[in-house]
A and B are shown apart, each in its own frame.
Chain A
């Protein structure tokens, strides 16, 4: 069965601290996608990254970085030098299968609420 676990329900940090959000997934497929989304209070899910299971390279985008480790089935997300605007709920998600028409089903974790205090 597919499952995504975000064990951290809430995290509170002070501005400029680094913070890592954990994501552990379960799947029987060898090909799959992993996603991270940010959901601010307005409710919209903001796309951050999509990574396919064949690409284990870590990725950095500005203050954001992602560490994908298939050996531990983890796809962790780090925010460097956090800012108040980073306060939101962050979701990790899994999609099984690759190819057109088969990637619309995302399995989401429960989300991690990040509060960045000034």
Chain B
């Protein structure tokens, strides 16, 4: 039990639409980060939030945005979906000695 939960678990969207993925982190974990994992690849860092501020971003366009809330929940928003956005999206919650991931949201863009 990691204490990190993501919703929804699966999602199908149409190209051009917008999507919001949600993550609930462990209480007390002030850092959350989001990752995109394409099939057969390692997870790729999208961005991280620390105490509700974005403080690190990977090589992803601005249509990938996020929010972190005081209750340790966070969101990943993707606008103008493209077919290549189809992937498993993972959020991670960081404590002093551990880094736990949620079970992921599998997004399919058709």
Give residues of chain B (18-75) contacting chain A, Cβ–Cβ below 8 Å: 30-33, 35, 41-45, 48-51, 55-56, 58
Known: A47-B100, A47-B101. A103 touches B42 (CB 8 A): no
> Bound state CA distance, A53 and B98, in angstroms?
15
Q: Is the interface of A mostly helix, strand, loop or mixed?
A: loop
By the criterion CB–CB under 8 Å, are B88 and A43 in contact?
Answer: yes
Q: A102: which B residues are within 8 A, CB to CB?
A: 50, 55-56
> Bound state CA distance, A46 and B42, in angstroms?
14
Known: A43-B88, A109-B42, A110-B42. A104 touches B102 (CB 8 A): no
By the criterion CB–CB under 8 Å, are B103 and A106 in contact?
Answer: no
A51 to chain B, nearest CB (A): 10
By the criterion CB–CB under 8 Å, are B41 and A44 in contact?
Answer: no
> Bound state CA distance, A51 and B55, in angstroms?
23
A35 to chain B, nearest CB (A): 6
The closest CB in chain A to the CB of B105 belongs to A43
By the criterion CB–CB under 8 Å, are B42 and A105 in contact?
Answer: no
> Bound state CA distance, A4 and B35, in angstroms?
16
By the criterion CB–CB under 8 Å, are A105 and B43 in contact?
Answer: no
By the criterion CB–CB under 8 Å, are B30 and A50 in contact?
Answer: no
Q: Confirm or deny: A30 has a beta carbon within 8 angstroms of a beta carbon on chain B.
A: no
Q: A108: which B residues are within 8 A, CB to CB?
A: 42-44
Q: A72: which B residues are within 8 A, CB to CB?
A: none
Known: A107-B45, A108-B43. A101 touches B99 (CB 8 A): no
Per-residue CB contact flags for chain A residues 34-55 toward chain B (1 = under 8 Å, else 0) read: 0101000011111100100000
Known: A35-B99, A103-B31, A107-B45. A43 touches B94 (CB 8 A): no
Chain A residues close to B by CB (< 8 Å)? 4, 35, 37, 42-47, 50, 91, 93, 95, 100-111
Known A-B contacts: A103-B94, A107-B45. Give 10 more (CB < 8 A).
A43-B104, A44-B102, A45-B101, A45-B104, A50-B98, A95-B99, A104-B33, A105-B58, A110-B42, A111-B42
